[in-house]
Chains A and B, each alone.
Chain A
């Protein structure tokens, strides 16, 4: 194997490293696996807040029935409590994938 190294000129090694860098970059860019970056909170069709999923925090949003508490954690979000009767959005649990939705429509609040 070492014998083959003599066919490499200095710039060739740089080219191999650059090529490997493109591989790593494309893998990081393309294979993020739908990891979410932020949570969009909507109420009555309008955007109330866009929260980055970087640090843990609790956000309270006022709706017609009362206050909804949304818990944000690094990389995920959930509806911790909601004043609605059926608790659909609370039962949805943690939302961890990009595009996941929890809806408590009777309170016109979506997350």
Chain B
């Protein structure tokens, strides 16, 4: 009997997604070490990677990177299938849908900062709905809404600014060499 081998050849796109997802996962794990004042209020640094991928490689790759990050990040942190995982997943799905819409805003006026803030609001919106329906079936969760909204503005702005600068730097690094973009 001849052993059958299945060879998977990753395409350039697969490698790129894996590399970006790895960067996002590193940021997720690093961020978990930061003490949080309130559960759920965190910078979401991994979203910087999602924003950069969205701007450079489109929405489909951004979805891959963000969802891989949620799954792998939760596995690494021991949160997989725990409530935090579902909050994370619902937030990621909502913000990806929002990014899918926001990317069609006129680019002259709206950049990564707008995308980031809109995605952050979609994120907290979905998390509050999931928390209200499932984890804390009481309207008391909405009492925290102003805190989450403030976090969405502050961290959305911060992440968006970093993403905008990164995009600029990456674009500049690529331009003189005239090579195909690889990162």
Please determine whether chains A and B interact with each other in the same assembly: yes
Which B101-123 residues sit within 8 Å CB-CB of chain A?
A: 105-106, 108-114, 117-118, 121
Contact B106 A19 (CB under 8 A): no
The distance in angstroms between the C-alpha atoms of A9 and B163, with both chains bound, is 13
Number of A-B contacts (CB under 8 A): 67
Instruction: State which of B110, B113, B150 has its C-beta within 8 Å of the C-beta of A7.
Output: B113
Q: Is B164 an interface residue (CB 8 A)?
A: yes
Instruction: State which of B113, B142, B149 has its C-beta within 8 Å of the C-beta of A8.
Output: B113
Contact A27 B146 (CB under 8 A): yes
The distance in angstroms between the C-alpha atoms of A4 and B118, with both chains bound, is 19
Residues on A with beta carbons closer than 8 Å to the beta carbon of B112: 7
Can you name the residue of chain A whose Cβ is closest to the Cβ of B111?
A9
Q: Is B134 an interface residue (CB 8 A)?
A: no
Contact B108 A23 (CB under 8 A): no
Which A8-59 residues sit within 8 Å CB-CB of chain B?
A: 8-12, 15-16, 19-20, 22-23, 26-27, 30-31
The distance in angstroms between the C-alpha atoms of A26 and B117, with both chains bound, is 16
Q: Is B68 an interface residue (CB 8 A)?
A: no
The distance in angstroms between the C-alpha atoms of A15 and B110, with both chains bound, is 9
Contact B117 A15 (CB under 8 A): yes
Which B150-176 residues sit within 8 Å CB-CB of chain A?
A: 150, 152-153, 156-157, 160-161, 164-165, 168
Can you name the residue of chain A whose Cβ is closest to the Cβ of B160?
A12
Residues on A with beta carbons closer than 8 Å to the beta carbon of B110: 9, 11-12, 15
Contact B149 A7 (CB under 8 A): no
Residues on B with beta carbons closer than 8 Å to the beta carbon of A11: 105-106, 109-111, 114
Residues on A with beta carbons closer than 8 Å to the beta carbon of B157: 16, 19
A interface list, Cβ under 8 A from B:
4, 7-12, 15-16, 19-20, 22-23, 26-27, 30-31
A-B contacts, 10 of them at CB < 8 A, read A7-B160, A7-B168, A8-B161, A9-B113, A15-B110, A16-B157, A19-B117, A19-B149, A30-B145, A31-B146
Closest 5 CB pairs of A and B: A11-B109, A7-B164, A19-B153, A12-B113, A27-B146
